[in-house]
Structure 1
């Protein structure tokens, strides 16, 4: 059991991972100070899927009930060809029974609000603070910010995303790995009788070199995404994204064009998708990484947010169990690095499979997927959703 007199943690990043870490550390008696370089926590972004393992983490963080109220349970999950022929009808009811909860979809901004509400009044969230360096002296770390201000703690957690400044300072600069596709994402008020809000969930449609996903988000909104094979610099400028989406998906399965048409141009995001090669260590001294800063992954398994939340819960467990910060961080890495590295690898493999361009390869993939029994589909996800990282 840790015997430090100073239990102050400095968290760099106020996204899902940073807020989850703050909540988990609060629960074990730590004081937390959160810093982010952004000037405001804007209510922007897209939908985020929260599979059963993410919901288990949210239970631990005390936020699951709010997510259930504000989000939408996934009742339907189909994969179809670009013109609507069914490939897979995922057994969502069996998954919910097996793992104890359905998955949920929620707006990232809503999830961020839910997590912010879990912070204690004394927890500081300081915006407009860009980390430039830190100094470790004995068992203390001093974080230094661009404006000249400093703060001290026993632990510094880099939860500052895929382009993490903390990661770069710890382990040096390294290139991002491009996925091979660019994403367009949108949110719209839309209703379709075949995919009702009451049922929840939705579908993905796969065509050569591109795919489209449609899911209910809760509160009368639908989230959609498009993944399009393209060069890394193929960014779609503001004002042209709706037109680009309509061109890419002209003639595709109904309601794809209709939901794009129902989306305001200003509600469509565009960005290339990257990950990084997994690290063999996340920590030095009393500084560590969490979430996308530690293990950015492609979105193909829908596990980026879930893994950040699992990190937070396991980090708190490790701090509570070990005799000191270095021992706790070693335990945290031992419990987390293998699982997250597998997620990164499997997300890349899934990306290659779903973004196939060759028509013969696409036809072979679809034919193979149609032969997989529902029970096997569920069991394939056991390592993701069925893993209990909390009872160590």
Structure 2
């Protein structure tokens, strides 16, 4: 511990991963500074699901109770056909009993705000765009667009899918378009079939498209749609609400009503990408974390969870090797790369299953899902949501 108290950590990126890392490292006594490109904490975002593995990681950061109070437990989760027939009733109560907690859905900016309030005051600097990093045998330096230079013992790139730190460590690596574009929204909507007391909601899987609806807490709901479309075809859409209604026409109620209830300003549209897993994340005194290290598709709901797990494992590794940053990074990679690579691949495989277009393939998939017992459902994902850092 005493060796770590004198250490200075520079974190590039003030998102979920960067803030989680700041909390974890401050718990060890490190002097931490977070540099965020945005001018302020943004009040714009979608819902994020936090499975049992994420909640357990947040418990270790000391913020799980705040997250539970702000979010909504998932006590109902159904998968339906495009015309509303039940395919799967996810055994959420059995999973909660097995893992000791329900999954929670929370508004992403609320989660970011909770993490921000749990780092020491004065830790986060806004409006700081990284230009480059320089390193020598004993120190690493971050140089920002405004001319400021900051020196530390180690640097963590938690600067997202378009990471500048990643480029410094790895060079350019191509992103992979998922084959679908997402339209997402936040609204206030009530439906007797999905009461707010139960939390959770449903997904509907259609040919080449998918829609999900869930309670967010504080009276709000979150919805998303994933629509198979060539890259570049929908990204410049101006009227996102109209586009969503057109693309999801003919779906079972309440899908169109949910979209209708949403203000245009509360709807986001993004093309969805990931990257092939890397063999290493670190170079000299710099390493990567979260989307900067392992951008993944959202199909397993693990993007945020994996960055929080990264933060904890990285802090444990530095605790074990307080005088050898490179050795700590090596331990961090050995623990995290196999797991995150499996999640990246699993998310891709899940996308193929969810976004099927061929009627025969859809029919076969639906037969398989209907026949799957709860025990098999739980066993299939135990490696993922049953994991504890």
The 3-state SS of whatever aligns with 2:132 is strand
What does residue 278 of structure 1 align with? 277
| Matching of residue 334 in structure 1 with residue 327 in structure 2 | no
The 3-state SS of whatever aligns with 1:284 is coil
Alignment of 1:95-174 (within 5 A): 95-121=95-121, 123-174=122-173
State the Cα distance separating 1:239 from its structure 2 match.
4.1
2-side partners of 1:138 and 1:169: how far apart? Answer: 17
The 3-state SS of whatever aligns with 1:381 is helix
Alignment of 1:215-364 (within 5 A): 215-237=214-236, 239-322=238-321, 323-364=323-364
State the Cα distance separating 1:39 from its structure 2 match.
1.4
2-side partners of 1:97 and 1:8: how far apart? Answer: 41
What does residue 92 of structure 1 align with? 92
How many residues align structurally? 388
Instruction: Report the TM-score, using the length of structure 1 for normalisation.
Output: 0.97
Q: Alpha-carbon deviations, 1:28-79, whole Å to 9, x = none?
A: 0011101011112211010000000000011011110011111000000000
- What is the RMSD of the two structures over their aligned residues, measured on CA atoms? 1.2
The 3-state SS of whatever aligns with 2:295 is coil
The 3-state SS of whatever aligns with 1:3 is helix
State the Cα distance separating 1:251 from its structure 2 match.
2.1
Q: Alpha-carbon deviations, 1:240-275, whole Å to 9, x = none?
A: 111011111122111101100000011000010000
2-side partners of 1:142 and 1:2: how far apart? Answer: 23
2-side partners of 1:190 and 1:144: how far apart? Answer: 46
2-side partners of 1:381 and 1:180: how far apart? Answer: 24
What does residue 184 of structure 1 align with? 183
What does residue 384 of structure 1 align with? 384
Gaps of 5+ in 1: none
Q: Alpha-carbon deviations, 1:208-234, whole Å to 9, x = none?
A: 000000000000011000000011112
1-side partners of 2:214 and 2:166: how far apart? Answer: 33
| Aligned partners of 1:57 and 1:309 also within 8 Å | yes
The 3-state SS of whatever aligns with 2:95 is helix
| Aligned partners of 2:274 and 2:296 also within 8 Å | yes
State the Cα distance separating 1:192 from its structure 2 match.
0.4
Q: Alpha-carbon deviations, 1:353-385, whole Å to 9, x = none?
A: 100000110111000111110111011111001
2-side partners of 1:59 and 1:5: how far apart? Answer: 23
| Aligned partners of 1:141 and 1:155 also within 8 Å | yes
Alignment of 1:10-25 (within 5 A): 10-25=10-25
What does residue 83 of structure 2 align with? 83
The 3-state SS of whatever aligns with 2:262 is coil
Alignment of 1:12-51 (within 5 A): 12-51=12-51
Instruction: Report the TM-score, using the length of structure 2 for normalisation.
Output: 0.98
| Aligned partners of 1:3 and 1:324 also within 8 Å | no
Gaps of 5+ in 2: none
| Aligned partners of 2:5 and 2:28 also within 8 Å | no
2-side partners of 1:294 and 1:12: how far apart? Answer: 13
